[in-house]
Amino acid sequence: MTHTVIAGASIAGLATALALAATGHRVTVLDRADAPPPPPADPGREGTWFTRRPTVPQGGHSHTLTSLGVRTLAHRAPHVLAAARTAGAHLLDLTDALPPDATDTAREMGDDDLTALACRRPTLEHVLHQAALATPGITLRHATTVAALDLDDSGRIQAVRTSDHTRLAADAVVDATGRRAASRTWLAQAGIPLAADHTCPSGLTGHTRFYRLLAGQRPGPLGRGNAAGDIFDHYAGVLHPGDGDTFSIALATLPGDRALAGLNTPEGFTAAARATPGLTVWLESGISEPISPVHAITAPPNTLRGNATTRQKPIPGLFPVADAACITNPLFGRGMSLALAHAYALADLLAAHDPTATTTARLAARLAEDLYTPWYTHAAHADRLRIARWRAAVTATEPPPPTDTDRLQAKIALAARTDGTVWRGLTRMLMTLATPAEILDDKFLTRIQHAPTAQPRPAGPTRADLVRLVTAAEGAAR
Protein backbone atom coordinates (compact mmCIF):
# COMPACT_ATOMS: atom_id res chain seq x y z
CA MET A 1 0.00 0.00 0.00
CA THR A 2 1.38 3.41 -0.98
CA HIS A 3 2.26 5.65 1.95
CA THR A 4 1.84 9.38 1.44
CA VAL A 5 2.96 12.05 3.89
CA ILE A 6 1.01 15.29 3.74
CA ALA A 7 2.57 18.41 5.24
CA GLY A 8 -0.23 20.63 6.50
CA ALA A 9 -3.69 19.95 7.92
CA SER A 10 -5.66 22.90 6.65
CA ILE A 11 -8.31 22.73 3.90
CA ALA A 12 -5.92 21.45 1.22
CA GLY A 13 -4.08 18.94 3.40
CA LEU A 14 -7.19 17.42 4.91
CA ALA A 15 -9.03 17.27 1.58
CA THR A 16 -6.04 15.60 -0.07
CA ALA A 17 -5.86 13.08 2.77
CA LEU A 18 -9.53 12.18 2.32
CA ALA A 19 -9.14 11.98 -1.46
CA LEU A 20 -6.06 9.75 -1.29
CA ALA A 21 -7.50 7.49 1.41
CA ALA A 22 -10.55 6.92 -0.80
CA THR A 23 -8.23 5.51 -3.50
CA GLY A 24 -6.38 3.17 -1.14
CA HIS A 25 -3.42 5.24 0.03
CA ARG A 26 -2.17 5.07 3.60
CA VAL A 27 -1.81 8.69 4.64
CA THR A 28 0.03 10.46 7.45
CA VAL A 29 -0.81 14.13 7.91
CA LEU A 30 1.74 16.25 9.77
CA ASP A 31 0.51 19.60 11.05
CA ARG A 32 2.63 22.23 12.79
CA ALA A 33 -0.39 23.50 14.76
CA ASP A 34 -1.80 21.88 17.86
CA ALA A 35 -4.97 19.83 17.53
CA PRO A 36 -7.88 22.22 17.02
CA PRO A 37 -10.23 22.83 19.94
CA PRO A 38 -13.81 21.67 19.60
CA PRO A 39 -16.26 24.35 18.51
CA PRO A 40 -18.43 25.97 21.19
CA ALA A 41 -22.04 24.94 21.54
CA ASP A 42 -23.10 28.15 19.79
CA PRO A 43 -20.20 29.40 17.64
CA GLY A 44 -22.38 32.29 16.48
CA ARG A 45 -22.06 33.75 19.96
CA GLU A 46 -18.37 32.99 20.45
CA GLY A 47 -16.07 35.21 18.46
CA THR A 48 -12.66 33.68 19.17
CA TRP A 49 -13.02 29.99 18.33
CA PHE A 50 -12.82 30.61 14.61
CA THR A 51 -9.64 32.73 14.83
CA ARG A 52 -7.57 30.34 16.97
CA ARG A 53 -5.37 28.88 14.25
CA PRO A 54 -2.14 30.93 14.44
CA THR A 55 -0.52 28.98 11.61
CA VAL A 56 -3.23 30.16 9.20
CA PRO A 57 -3.32 33.97 9.49
CA GLN A 58 -6.06 34.24 6.86
CA GLY A 59 -8.27 31.83 8.81
CA GLY A 60 -9.93 34.67 10.72
CA HIS A 61 -10.97 36.48 7.56
CA SER A 62 -13.85 36.27 5.10
CA HIS A 63 -14.06 33.12 3.00
CA THR A 64 -16.59 31.62 0.65
CA LEU A 65 -16.91 28.30 -1.13
CA THR A 66 -17.69 28.90 -4.78
CA SER A 67 -19.64 26.58 -7.05
CA LEU A 68 -16.52 24.60 -8.00
CA GLY A 69 -15.94 23.71 -4.35
CA VAL A 70 -19.57 22.81 -3.75
CA ARG A 71 -19.64 20.60 -6.86
CA THR A 72 -16.41 18.89 -5.83
CA LEU A 73 -17.74 18.06 -2.37
CA ALA A 74 -21.15 17.01 -3.68
CA HIS A 75 -19.60 14.57 -6.17
CA ARG A 76 -16.52 13.37 -4.28
CA ALA A 77 -17.18 13.84 -0.55
CA PRO A 78 -20.93 14.17 -0.01
CA HIS A 79 -20.49 13.16 3.64
CA VAL A 80 -18.32 16.24 4.18
CA LEU A 81 -20.87 18.52 2.55
CA ALA A 82 -23.63 16.95 4.65
CA ALA A 83 -21.58 17.40 7.82
CA ALA A 84 -20.94 21.05 6.96
CA ARG A 85 -24.66 21.62 6.55
CA THR A 86 -25.30 19.89 9.87
CA ALA A 87 -22.76 22.29 11.39
CA GLY A 88 -24.82 25.23 10.13
CA ALA A 89 -23.50 25.85 6.61
CA HIS A 90 -26.20 26.46 4.04
CA LEU A 91 -26.41 26.31 0.28
CA LEU A 92 -27.02 29.50 -1.68
CA ASP A 93 -28.88 29.32 -4.99
CA LEU A 94 -27.01 31.91 -7.02
CA THR A 95 -29.81 32.23 -9.56
CA ASP A 96 -31.73 34.12 -6.88
CA ALA A 97 -29.45 37.01 -7.86
CA LEU A 98 -30.47 36.97 -11.53
CA PRO A 99 -31.51 40.57 -12.28
CA PRO A 100 -35.33 40.46 -12.34
CA ASP A 101 -35.56 42.61 -15.47
CA ALA A 102 -32.95 40.63 -17.39
CA THR A 103 -33.68 38.41 -20.35
CA ASP A 104 -33.63 34.60 -20.06
CA THR A 105 -34.50 34.37 -16.37
CA ALA A 106 -36.34 31.04 -16.68
CA ARG A 107 -34.39 28.16 -15.16
CA GLU A 108 -31.95 26.54 -17.59
CA MET A 109 -29.80 23.44 -17.80
CA GLY A 110 -26.67 24.07 -15.76
CA ASP A 111 -28.34 26.38 -13.26
CA ASP A 112 -28.20 23.66 -10.61
CA ASP A 113 -24.42 24.03 -10.62
CA LEU A 114 -24.74 27.71 -9.67
CA THR A 115 -24.65 27.05 -5.94
CA ALA A 116 -22.34 28.38 -3.25
CA LEU A 117 -21.87 27.37 0.39
CA ALA A 118 -22.21 29.89 3.20
CA CYS A 119 -19.63 28.61 5.67
CA ARG A 120 -16.79 30.14 7.64
CA ARG A 121 -13.43 28.60 6.85
CA PRO A 122 -12.77 27.28 10.39
CA THR A 123 -16.13 25.52 10.37
CA LEU A 124 -15.27 23.73 7.13
CA GLU A 125 -11.78 22.93 8.48
CA HIS A 126 -13.34 21.39 11.60
CA VAL A 127 -15.68 19.25 9.48
CA LEU A 128 -12.77 18.05 7.33
CA HIS A 129 -10.69 17.35 10.43
CA GLN A 130 -13.46 15.22 11.94
CA ALA A 131 -13.91 13.37 8.65
CA ALA A 132 -10.17 12.65 8.48
CA LEU A 133 -10.16 11.34 12.05
CA ALA A 134 -12.99 8.97 11.17
CA THR A 135 -11.42 7.68 7.94
CA PRO A 136 -9.44 4.41 8.03
CA GLY A 137 -5.96 4.81 6.62
CA ILE A 138 -5.46 8.41 7.77
CA THR A 139 -3.17 9.25 10.70
CA LEU A 140 -3.06 12.83 12.02
CA ARG A 141 -0.02 14.10 13.92
CA HIS A 142 -0.10 17.63 15.31
CA ALA A 143 2.73 19.92 16.48
CA THR A 144 4.97 18.18 13.92
CA THR A 145 6.37 19.42 10.63
CA VAL A 146 8.41 18.11 7.72
CA ALA A 147 11.92 19.45 8.27
CA ALA A 148 13.64 17.88 5.25
CA LEU A 149 13.36 15.30 2.49
CA ASP A 150 15.45 12.16 2.13
CA LEU A 151 16.16 11.58 -1.57
CA ASP A 152 17.97 8.71 -3.25
CA ASP A 153 20.78 9.21 -5.76
CA SER A 154 18.28 9.66 -8.60
CA GLY A 155 16.36 12.39 -6.73
CA ARG A 156 13.41 10.20 -5.82
CA ILE A 157 11.78 10.69 -2.39
CA GLN A 158 12.54 7.97 0.15
CA ALA A 159 11.40 9.54 3.43
CA VAL A 160 10.83 12.77 5.33
CA ARG A 161 12.67 14.02 8.38
CA THR A 162 10.30 15.55 10.89
CA SER A 163 10.77 18.37 13.37
CA ASP A 164 10.90 15.81 16.20
CA HIS A 165 13.88 14.07 14.49
CA THR A 166 11.87 11.12 13.18
CA ARG A 167 12.56 9.53 9.80
CA LEU A 168 9.26 8.63 8.20
CA ALA A 169 9.42 6.48 5.05
CA ALA A 170 7.21 7.81 2.26
CA ASP A 171 6.41 6.94 -1.34
CA ALA A 172 5.01 10.42 -1.91
CA VAL A 173 4.96 13.78 -0.12
CA VAL A 174 2.25 16.39 -0.60
CA ASP A 175 3.13 19.99 0.23
CA ALA A 176 -0.06 21.48 1.67
CA THR A 177 1.77 24.10 3.75
CA GLY A 178 -0.11 26.95 2.13
CA ARG A 179 1.55 30.26 1.40
CA ARG A 180 4.81 29.12 3.02
CA ALA A 181 5.26 26.59 0.19
CA ALA A 182 7.70 24.68 2.42
CA SER A 183 8.72 22.32 -0.39
CA ARG A 184 10.79 25.14 -1.85
CA THR A 185 12.87 25.16 1.34
CA TRP A 186 13.16 21.36 1.34
CA LEU A 187 14.40 21.36 -2.25
CA ALA A 188 16.84 24.19 -1.64
CA GLN A 189 18.25 22.31 1.35
CA ALA A 190 18.74 19.29 -0.90
CA GLY A 191 20.66 21.43 -3.40
CA ILE A 192 18.00 21.17 -6.11
CA PRO A 193 17.62 24.30 -8.30
CA LEU A 194 14.18 25.85 -8.18
CA ALA A 195 12.20 27.15 -11.13
CA ALA A 196 11.34 30.81 -10.68
CA ASP A 197 7.88 31.84 -9.50
CA HIS A 198 5.55 34.02 -11.53
CA THR A 199 4.38 36.87 -9.30
CA CYS A 200 2.25 39.99 -9.55
CA PRO A 201 1.17 42.34 -6.71
CA SER A 202 -2.27 41.79 -5.23
CA GLY A 203 -2.22 45.32 -3.80
CA LEU A 204 -4.62 44.55 -0.99
CA THR A 205 -4.89 45.10 2.74
CA GLY A 206 -8.03 43.52 4.16
CA HIS A 207 -10.01 44.23 7.32
CA THR A 208 -12.58 41.66 8.41
CA ARG A 209 -15.17 41.54 11.16
CA PHE A 210 -17.71 38.81 11.95
CA TYR A 211 -21.31 39.38 12.99
CA ARG A 212 -24.37 37.49 14.13
CA LEU A 213 -27.87 38.18 12.86
CA LEU A 214 -30.19 38.78 15.80
CA ALA A 215 -33.42 37.83 14.05
CA GLY A 216 -31.92 35.02 11.98
CA GLN A 217 -33.12 36.42 8.65
CA ARG A 218 -31.20 38.25 5.96
CA PRO A 219 -32.16 41.93 6.00
CA GLY A 220 -31.05 42.57 2.43
CA PRO A 221 -30.32 40.83 -0.86
CA LEU A 222 -27.12 39.10 -1.85
CA GLY A 223 -26.54 40.96 -5.08
CA ARG A 224 -23.91 38.49 -6.28
CA GLY A 225 -25.85 35.47 -5.05
CA ASN A 226 -23.23 34.70 -2.43
CA ALA A 227 -22.24 38.22 -1.37
CA ALA A 228 -23.38 41.81 -0.97
CA GLY A 229 -21.37 44.96 -1.63
CA ASP A 230 -18.92 45.56 -4.44
CA ILE A 231 -15.44 46.60 -5.56
CA PHE A 232 -15.54 50.38 -5.93
CA ASP A 233 -13.15 52.88 -7.51
CA HIS A 234 -10.96 53.25 -4.42
CA TYR A 235 -11.83 50.42 -2.00
CA ALA A 236 -13.87 47.25 -1.69
CA GLY A 237 -16.63 46.38 0.75
CA VAL A 238 -18.02 42.84 0.57
CA LEU A 239 -20.29 40.81 2.86
CA HIS A 240 -20.42 37.02 2.90
CA PRO A 241 -23.01 34.97 4.82
CA GLY A 242 -21.50 32.28 7.04
CA ASP A 243 -22.72 29.17 8.81
CA GLY A 244 -25.60 29.56 11.22
CA ASP A 245 -26.73 33.15 11.56
CA THR A 246 -23.25 34.59 11.05
CA PHE A 247 -21.83 36.79 8.34
CA SER A 248 -18.58 38.60 7.71
CA ILE A 249 -17.73 41.96 6.23
CA ALA A 250 -14.40 42.57 4.52
CA LEU A 251 -13.14 46.06 3.65
CA ALA A 252 -10.10 46.24 1.40
CA THR A 253 -7.73 49.11 0.62
CA LEU A 254 -4.30 49.62 -0.87
CA PRO A 255 -1.47 48.59 1.47
CA GLY A 256 -0.01 51.58 3.31
CA ASP A 257 -3.12 53.72 2.92
CA ARG A 258 -2.58 55.69 6.14
CA ALA A 259 -5.62 57.89 5.65
CA LEU A 260 -7.79 54.80 6.23
CA ALA A 261 -5.74 53.35 9.09
CA GLY A 262 -8.84 53.82 11.24
CA LEU A 263 -10.40 50.79 9.57
CA ASN A 264 -8.44 48.78 12.15
CA THR A 265 -10.71 50.17 14.86
CA PRO A 266 -14.27 48.95 15.44
CA GLU A 267 -15.57 52.51 15.11
CA GLY A 268 -13.78 53.31 11.87
CA PHE A 269 -14.64 49.93 10.38
CA THR A 270 -18.32 50.32 11.26
CA ALA A 271 -18.49 53.81 9.79
CA ALA A 272 -17.04 52.62 6.48
CA ALA A 273 -19.19 49.48 6.34
CA ARG A 274 -22.38 51.43 7.04
CA ALA A 275 -21.54 53.83 4.20
CA THR A 276 -21.03 50.99 1.70
CA PRO A 277 -23.94 50.24 -0.66
CA GLY A 278 -25.41 46.82 0.01
CA LEU A 279 -24.04 46.57 3.54
CA THR A 280 -25.86 49.37 5.37
CA VAL A 281 -29.06 47.49 6.18
CA TRP A 282 -27.13 44.56 7.69
CA LEU A 283 -25.64 46.82 10.36
CA GLU A 284 -28.75 48.67 11.48
CA SER A 285 -29.65 48.63 15.15
CA GLY A 286 -31.39 45.43 16.18
CA ILE A 287 -30.35 43.57 13.00
CA SER A 288 -26.91 42.24 13.96
CA GLU A 289 -24.17 42.38 16.54
CA PRO A 290 -20.40 41.96 16.14
CA ILE A 291 -18.87 38.74 17.46
CA SER A 292 -15.22 39.47 16.71
CA PRO A 293 -12.73 42.30 16.72
CA VAL A 294 -11.49 43.75 13.45
CA HIS A 295 -8.78 41.56 11.90
CA ALA A 296 -6.30 43.07 9.44
CA ILE A 297 -4.09 41.29 6.93
CA THR A 298 -2.05 42.26 3.90
CA ALA A 299 -2.54 39.79 1.09
CA PRO A 300 0.56 38.20 -0.44
CA PRO A 301 1.21 38.73 -4.15
CA ASN A 302 -0.47 36.58 -6.74
CA THR A 303 2.03 33.75 -7.16
CA LEU A 304 2.26 30.75 -9.45
CA ARG A 305 5.01 28.60 -7.92
CA GLY A 306 7.66 27.50 -10.38
CA ASN A 307 8.27 24.21 -8.59
CA ALA A 308 4.59 23.27 -9.00
CA THR A 309 4.68 23.62 -12.78
CA THR A 310 6.34 22.02 -15.78
CA ARG A 311 9.13 24.60 -15.53
CA GLN A 312 10.59 22.61 -12.60
CA LYS A 313 12.83 19.59 -13.14
CA PRO A 314 10.58 16.75 -11.94
CA ILE A 315 11.00 15.58 -8.34
CA PRO A 316 9.41 12.11 -8.30
CA GLY A 317 7.00 11.78 -5.40
CA LEU A 318 6.70 15.49 -4.48
CA PHE A 319 3.38 17.23 -5.13
CA PRO A 320 2.58 20.84 -4.08
CA VAL A 321 -1.15 21.58 -3.82
CA ALA A 322 -3.41 24.59 -3.36
CA ASP A 323 -1.67 27.73 -2.00
CA ALA A 324 1.66 25.90 -2.05
CA ALA A 325 1.19 25.78 -5.83
CA CYS A 326 -0.64 29.02 -6.54
CA ILE A 327 -1.96 32.05 -4.63
CA THR A 328 -4.50 34.45 -6.11
CA ASN A 329 -6.11 37.56 -4.67
CA PRO A 330 -8.60 36.59 -1.93
CA LEU A 331 -11.09 39.16 -3.25
CA PHE A 332 -12.04 36.53 -5.83
CA GLY A 333 -12.76 33.91 -3.14
CA ARG A 334 -11.42 30.99 -5.16
CA GLY A 335 -8.81 29.58 -2.80
CA MET A 336 -10.79 26.94 -0.94
CA SER A 337 -12.59 25.72 -4.06
CA LEU A 338 -9.38 25.40 -6.07
CA ALA A 339 -7.81 23.54 -3.14
CA LEU A 340 -10.62 20.99 -3.10
CA ALA A 341 -10.55 20.57 -6.87
CA HIS A 342 -6.77 20.13 -6.87
CA ALA A 343 -6.89 17.61 -4.01
CA TYR A 344 -9.30 15.26 -5.78
CA ALA A 345 -7.74 15.69 -9.22
CA LEU A 346 -4.32 14.82 -7.79
CA ALA A 347 -5.76 11.77 -6.02
CA ASP A 348 -7.23 10.56 -9.32
CA LEU A 349 -3.86 11.03 -11.00
CA LEU A 350 -1.99 9.12 -8.30
CA ALA A 351 -4.58 6.32 -8.42
CA ALA A 352 -3.88 5.84 -12.11
CA HIS A 353 -0.08 6.29 -12.10
CA ASP A 354 2.87 5.25 -9.95
CA PRO A 355 3.41 8.13 -7.47
CA THR A 356 7.16 7.46 -7.45
CA ALA A 357 7.61 7.75 -11.22
CA THR A 358 9.15 10.74 -12.97
CA THR A 359 6.38 10.68 -15.57
CA THR A 360 3.81 11.04 -12.77
CA ALA A 361 5.61 14.11 -11.44
CA ARG A 362 5.43 15.62 -14.93
CA LEU A 363 1.71 14.81 -15.20
CA ALA A 364 1.05 16.37 -11.78
CA ALA A 365 2.92 19.51 -12.78
CA ARG A 366 0.84 19.76 -15.94
CA LEU A 367 -2.31 19.26 -13.88
CA ALA A 368 -1.39 22.11 -11.53
CA GLU A 369 -0.36 24.35 -14.41
CA ASP A 370 -3.61 23.77 -16.30
CA LEU A 371 -5.72 24.29 -13.19
CA TYR A 372 -4.10 27.47 -11.89
CA THR A 373 -2.68 29.38 -14.84
CA PRO A 374 -6.02 30.82 -16.04
CA TRP A 375 -6.85 32.07 -12.55
CA TYR A 376 -3.39 33.45 -11.91
CA THR A 377 -3.51 35.29 -15.24
CA HIS A 378 -6.99 36.65 -14.54
CA ALA A 379 -6.09 37.84 -11.04
CA ALA A 380 -2.83 39.41 -12.17
CA HIS A 381 -4.54 41.44 -14.88
CA ALA A 382 -7.51 42.44 -12.73
CA ASP A 383 -5.22 43.51 -9.89
CA ARG A 384 -3.02 45.63 -12.14
CA LEU A 385 -6.11 47.50 -13.33
CA ARG A 386 -7.62 47.85 -9.85
CA ILE A 387 -4.35 48.96 -8.23
CA ALA A 388 -3.89 51.67 -10.87
CA ARG A 389 -7.47 52.86 -10.39
CA TRP A 390 -7.25 52.88 -6.59
CA ARG A 391 -3.86 54.57 -6.60
CA ALA A 392 -5.18 57.32 -8.86
CA ALA A 393 -8.06 57.89 -6.44
CA VAL A 394 -5.72 58.02 -3.43
CA THR A 395 -3.30 60.43 -5.13
CA ALA A 396 -6.00 62.44 -6.94
CA THR A 397 -4.41 61.77 -10.34
CA GLU A 398 -5.75 60.45 -13.62
CA PRO A 399 -5.81 56.64 -13.92
CA PRO A 400 -4.12 55.08 -16.95
CA PRO A 401 -6.35 54.68 -20.02
CA PRO A 402 -8.16 51.33 -20.16
CA THR A 403 -6.95 48.58 -22.47
CA ASP A 404 -9.18 46.66 -24.86
CA THR A 405 -9.39 43.87 -22.27
CA ASP A 406 -10.43 46.38 -19.63
CA ARG A 407 -13.18 47.73 -21.88
CA LEU A 408 -14.42 44.20 -22.60
CA GLN A 409 -14.62 43.37 -18.90
CA ALA A 410 -16.61 46.55 -18.26
CA LYS A 411 -19.02 45.65 -21.07
CA ILE A 412 -19.49 42.15 -19.65
CA ALA A 413 -20.31 43.53 -16.20
CA LEU A 414 -22.88 45.92 -17.66
CA ALA A 415 -24.43 43.36 -20.00
CA ALA A 416 -24.79 40.84 -17.16
CA ARG A 417 -27.28 43.16 -15.51
CA THR A 418 -29.73 43.00 -18.41
CA ASP A 419 -28.94 39.73 -20.23
CA GLY A 420 -29.46 36.44 -18.41
CA THR A 421 -27.13 34.52 -20.72
CA VAL A 422 -24.29 36.94 -20.09
CA TRP A 423 -25.08 36.87 -16.36
CA ARG A 424 -24.78 33.09 -16.32
CA GLY A 425 -21.47 33.14 -18.15
CA LEU A 426 -20.00 35.79 -15.87
CA THR A 427 -21.31 34.00 -12.78
CA ARG A 428 -19.83 30.67 -13.89
CA MET A 429 -16.48 32.40 -14.24
CA LEU A 430 -16.74 34.16 -10.87
CA MET A 431 -17.75 30.85 -9.27
CA THR A 432 -14.70 29.08 -10.80
CA LEU A 433 -16.78 26.77 -12.99
CA ALA A 434 -15.44 28.18 -16.26
CA THR A 435 -12.26 30.05 -17.08
CA PRO A 436 -12.45 33.49 -18.74
CA ALA A 437 -11.37 31.94 -22.06
CA GLU A 438 -14.12 29.32 -21.83
CA ILE A 439 -16.95 31.84 -21.56
CA LEU A 440 -15.75 34.21 -24.28
CA ASP A 441 -17.15 32.42 -27.34
CA ASP A 442 -18.79 34.16 -30.30
CA LYS A 443 -22.31 33.74 -28.89
CA PHE A 444 -21.29 35.33 -25.60
CA LEU A 445 -19.58 38.27 -27.31
CA THR A 446 -22.62 38.86 -29.53
CA ARG A 447 -24.92 38.93 -26.50
CA ILE A 448 -22.67 41.53 -24.87
CA GLN A 449 -22.87 43.81 -27.89
CA HIS A 450 -26.69 43.65 -28.06
CA ALA A 451 -27.54 43.70 -24.34
CA PRO A 452 -29.95 46.44 -23.23
CA THR A 453 -28.39 49.41 -21.48
CA ALA A 454 -28.14 48.99 -17.71
CA GLN A 455 -28.47 51.63 -15.04
CA PRO A 456 -25.19 52.33 -13.20
CA ARG A 457 -24.61 50.68 -9.85
CA PRO A 458 -24.43 52.77 -6.67
CA ALA A 459 -20.95 54.28 -6.59
CA GLY A 460 -20.39 54.26 -2.85
CA PRO A 461 -18.82 57.09 -0.87
CA THR A 462 -16.15 59.19 -2.51
CA ARG A 463 -12.59 58.82 -1.33
CA ALA A 464 -12.81 62.11 0.58
CA ASP A 465 -16.11 61.14 2.21
CA LEU A 466 -14.83 57.71 3.27
CA VAL A 467 -11.68 59.17 4.82
CA ARG A 468 -13.77 61.77 6.63
CA LEU A 469 -16.21 59.19 8.00
CA VAL A 470 -13.49 56.83 9.21
CA THR A 471 -11.37 59.59 10.75
CA ALA A 472 -14.35 61.13 12.54
CA ALA A 473 -15.50 57.79 13.94
CA GLU A 474 -12.01 56.86 15.10
CA GLY A 475 -11.52 60.28 16.71
CA ALA A 476 -14.87 60.17 18.50
CA ALA A 477 -13.92 56.85 20.09
CA ARG A 478 -10.72 58.18 21.70
For the cut 80, the answer to whether the pLDDT of residue 39 exceeds it is no
Q: What is the pLDDT of residue 456?
A: 73
Q: How confident is the model at residue 464 (pLDDT cuts 50, 70, 90)?
A: very high
Q: Is pLDDT of 50 > 70?
A: no
At 478, the pLDDT band (50, 70, 90 cuts) reads low
pLDDT digits (tens, 9 = 90+) for 293-352: 999 989 999 999 999 999 999 999 999 999 999 999 998 999 999 999 999 999 999 999
| Furthest-apart CA atoms within the chain: distance in Å | 67
pLDDT reading at 44 higher than 90: no
Q: Which residues contact 331 (CB under 8 A, 6 or more apart)?
A: 204, 231, 236, 238, 252
pLDDT (0 to 100) of residue 3: 97
Contact 100, 92 (CB under 8 A): no
pTM above 0.75, yes or no: yes
Domains of the chain: 205-300+460-476 (3.30.9)
pLDDT band for 214, please (50, 70, 90 cuts): very high
Q: What is the band of 215 on the pLDDT scale with cuts at 50, 70, 90?
A: confident
The pLDDT of residue 210 is above 70: yes
User: What is the pLDDT, as a whole number, of residue 410?
Assistant: 86
Q: What is the mean pLDDT of the chain?
A: 92
Residue 54 pLDDT > 80: no
Q: How many Å apart are CA 404 and CA 390, to the nearest integer?
A: 19
| The pLDDT of residue 240 | 96
**Over the chain, what HEC string results?**
CCEEEEECCCHHHHHHHHHHHHCCCEEEEEECCCCCCCCCCCHHHCCCHHHCCCCCHHHHCCCCECHHHHHHHHHHCHHHHHHHHHCCCEEEEHHHHCCCCCECCCCCCCHHHCEEEECCHHHHHHHHHHHHHCCCCEEEEECCCEEEEEECCCCCEEEEEECCCCEEECCEEEECCHHHCCHHHHHHHCCCCCCCCEEECCCCEEEEEEEEECCCCCCCCCCCCCCEEEECCCCEEEEEECCCCEEEEEEEECCCCHHHHHHHCHHHHHHHHHCCCCCHHHHCCCCEEECCCCEEEECCCEEECHHHCCCCCCCCCEEECHHHCEECCHHHCCHHHHHHHHHHHHHHHHHHCCCCCHHHHHHHHHHHHHHHHHHHHHHHHHHHHHHHHHHHHHHCCCCCCCCHHHHHHHHHHHHCCCEHHHHHHHHHHHCCCCCHHHHCCHHHHHHHHHCCCCCCCCCCCCHHHHHHHHHHHHHHCC
**pLDDT confidence tier of residue 452, bands split at 50, 70 and 90:** confident
User: Per residue in 141-185, pLDDT tens?
Assistant: 999 999 999 999 888 999 999 998 999 999 999 999 999 999 999
For β-strands 318-320 and 295-298, DSSP reports them as unpaired
Q: What pLDDT, on the 0 to 100 scale, is given for residue 111?
A: 95
Count Cβ atoms below 10 Å from residue 475 Cβ, excluding itself. 11
Nearest to 221 by CA among 84, 322, 92, 310: 92
User: Could you count the other beta carbons within 10 Å of the beta carbon of residue 49?
Assistant: 18
Give pLDDT tens digits for 381-402. 999 999 999 999 999 999 888 8
Q: What does the pLDDT read at residue 404?
A: 86
Check residues 43 and 219 and name the one with the higher pLDDT: 219
